[in-house]
Amino acid sequence: MSTVDAPLPSDDVLAARLRGFGPAGLLSIIAILAGNFLFIPLSAVLILLWAYWSRTPWRDIGYVRPRSWALSAAIGVGFGVAFKLAMKSIVMPLLGADPINHAYHYLAGNRGAIPATLFLLIIGAGFGEETLFRGWMFERLGKIFGPGIGGKAAIVLITATIFGWAHYTVQGIAGVEQATIVGLVFGTIYTATGRLWMLMCAHAAFDLTAYTLIYWDLERSVAKAFFY
């Protein structure tokens, strides 16, 4: 039997099936999407396992070493803080959102909730949501829509919509509006850079800024900074 006719090793077959959209590939997609319903950030952990077992290059899900970890982190944190303040003081008031995020107002002055909240915002949101909604979804949808400009625009719109509606159950329409805008902005940046580290820092900083406003009961003041 020639080398060309030789069957692929079993691990190569599994990798190819996990990268595809047959039964194994679809099962992996379902498992990943269901992960966070069990605990956060299980979906992101499953994505890393999927990337390893499917032999998907880490760069394909945005795991690219930055030229400078510190500089990328600083840019991400600065952008995340500024973005959240702009959303709270300008964008969301224009959309008619309540200045108080009632879904999380219980966190105001709540010292006992600090450890769990920091874990969810830094690990769950920064690492977990960026790996899921940008890194992995862009890779999967990229196989369907292709590398063209139209395909990339469609992927940004689809992932932003999914990201937005994922916030509906807890935060309602205002949460959907804000998360969709964040998804559009972060998705566009990811399309341009193909890198997640800065976005992970920006996402964590965005949510930590929101948490700070809630904890110190500053939401109303910031929301009315420009509109009374």
pTM of the model: 0.92
Above 80 in pLDDT, residue 169?
Answer: yes
pLDDT for 2 equals 41
Domain span holding position 141 = 63-223
CB 36 within 8 A of CB 26: no
Could you give the CA distance from residue 190 to residue 205 in angstroms, rounded to a whole number?
17
The number of domains in the chain is: 2
Residue 119 within any structural domain of the chain: yes
Question: pLDDT tier at 227 (50, 70, 90 boundaries)?
Answer: confident
Query: For 23-31, what is the mean pLDDT?
Result: 97
108 and 32 in a single domain? The answer is no
C-alpha angle with apex 216: 98 to 124, nearest 5 degrees?
Answer: 80
Give DSSP secondary structure letters for 169-201.
Answer: HHHHHHHHHHHHHHHHHHHHHHHHH---HHHHH
Residue 228: inside a domain: no
Residues 12 and 29 in one domain: yes
pLDDT digits (tens, 9 = 90+) for 44-67: 999 999 999 999 999 999 999 999
**pLDDT attached to residue 1:** 40
- Could you tell me if 26 and 130 lie in one domain? no
Are 4 and 108 members of one domain? no
Token pair 């008619």 is found at 96
Within 10 angstroms of residue 59's Cβ, the number of other Cβ atoms is 14
Tens-digit pLDDT profile for residues 96-153: 999 999 999 999 999 999 999 999 999 999 999 999 999 999 999 999 999 999 999 9
Whole-Å CA distances, 50 to 54, 116, 140:
6, 27, 12
Is residue 127 in some structural domain? yes
Place of tokens 């795991």: 63
- Are 5 and 44 found together in one domain? yes
Gyration radius of the chain over CA positions: 20
Whether residue 6 is predicted with pLDDT greater than 70 in this model: the reply is no
User: Would you say residue 132 lies in a domain?
Assistant: yes
Examine residue 219 and state whether it is found in any structural domain, yes or no: yes
> What residue type is 153 in one-letter code?
A
**Whether residue 148 is found in the same domain as residue 117:** yes
Q: Are residues 112 and 212 in the same domain?
A: yes
A 10 A CB-CB count for 43 gives: 23
